[in-house]
Chains A and B, each alone.
Chain A
Amino acid sequence: MTLFCQNLKFLFLVVLLCFISPKVFAVEYYELEVYGYQTANLHELEIENTSSVSSDDRETFTNRIFRSSMEFNYGISDRWELSTYLDYTKPVDDHAEYTAFRAHARTYFAEKDQLPVDLGLYFEVELPRNYRAKDVGLEIKPILEKDFSRWTIRLNPAVEFSHVAVPVGDNSKVVDPDGDVISSQTQDLSSDKVWIAEWGLSSSISYNFSEYFRPHLDWHLGFTDQSSLIMPSVDLKLAKDIKASIGAGFGLTPTTENRIVMARLEFESFLEGR
């Protein structure tokens, strides 16, 4: 199989994935990360904070929302990692509040480059604080990665199953999984909940410039609320065990938060023999 044919088949799958998702959930503002194939190594501990400030105002960056997520990630084997998150939010002129607890497991299939496309799988459970609107979310996310010399393309198509409350009244629309009511009218929530499934796609193209500098362009799609966020970012290695990432997001549609500034700080430690 020639190199050209292998790359052509991957690009074919990229095009397929861009068009087959009938419904896509909203942008994951607490993460804003496109996952790669490689998991944490055995006994490797990663402590990570992702924070962002976003605004709907294109000119003055007012009506800001601050979000922060604290993550603890650990490699339990050469192929599996487990992670827990605590999410917080603070709208401007309001107090900060705990938003959700999340946990994920991630793995990969075969060694890198053993298959024409590197494949991984990601599972996440979310327990929101606002359990009245949504008491649990389950996400499954295949991870696809392909290197072209120093360039790397990553795709994260995803499906999320959410157990959400049904609005009381004649309005048959289901409450948004984040607890926000889709309709402009105030809706009461019944105690009855239903399972809904929504699809998403995040993608990234990056260039491995050096050990210390890796620029990338991420694109997060949400068709349910017609949101689309493009985010140029850069990954930096600040020291042997300290990495950072900074990015600026631009909403491409009226329903996307217009401007987002994101920063991620990661500390790695290898706990061999402990």
Chain B
Amino acid sequence: MKFLFFGLFLIFQTSHAEDLRTFALSVKDGKFTPERIEVPRDKKFKLEVKNDGNQSEEFESVELNREKIVGPHKSITVFLGPLGTGEYVFFGDFHPDTARGKIVVK
């Protein structure tokens, strides 16, 4: 048991607060704005997803393993990174044909 707590300590001692760059993403009427977000490579960052509409939307991405509902006029914070170079697609599962975007890492 002592070893388990020691292992958990090693994990949590790295979880101190740090300043993360924040990128804004809004969704309304089945559409994300902006549809393309450029972020730096190998850096952690935050995505503030705000729902400006009257219906819920689900922020989902297979590459990023994310699936979270944003209620109407509410926002969620998505912690991401560090990501390697490439494009990471996200979509709104409640409007998959129109609510699409990507995070571009350079």
Contacts and interface: CB of A to CB of B under 8 A. Distances in A.
Provide the main secondary structure of the chain B interface. mixed
A20 B1 contact: yes
A192 to B, nearest CB: 29
Interface in A12-70: 12-13, 16-17, 20, 38, 41-42, 44
Contact of A16 (B4, B67, B93): B4
B56 interface: yes
A94 interface: no
A1 B16 CA distance: 11
A208 B63 contact: yes
A12 B62 contact: no
Contact of B67 (A12, A38, A150, A210): A38
B79 A20 contact: no
A111 B76 CA distance: 10
A1 B80 CA distance: 15
Contacts of B81: 113
A9 B10 contact: yes
A152 B12 contact: no
A111 B69 contact: no
Interface residues of A, number: 32
A13 B11 contact: yes
B55 to A, nearest CB: 8
Interface residues of B, number: 31
Interface string A203-238: 000001011000000000000000000000000000
A13 B7 contact: yes
A178 interface: no
A152 B66 CA distance: 12
A212 to B, nearest CB: 9
Given A16-B7, A112-B79, A270 B56 contact: yes
A3 interface: yes
A149 B67 CA distance: 16
Contacts of A152: 65
The list of the 8 closest CB pairs from A to B, nearest first, reads: A113-B79, A41-B69, A13-B7, A16-B7, A114-B79, A115-B15, A1-B14, A147-B65
22 contacts: A3-B82, A9-B14, A10-B11, A13-B8, A16-B3, A20-B1, A41-B58, A41-B68, A111-B77, A111-B78, A111-B79, A113-B81, A114-B15, A114-B79, A116-B11, A116-B15, A147-B65, A211-B60, A240-B93, A270-B56, A270-B69, A272-B56
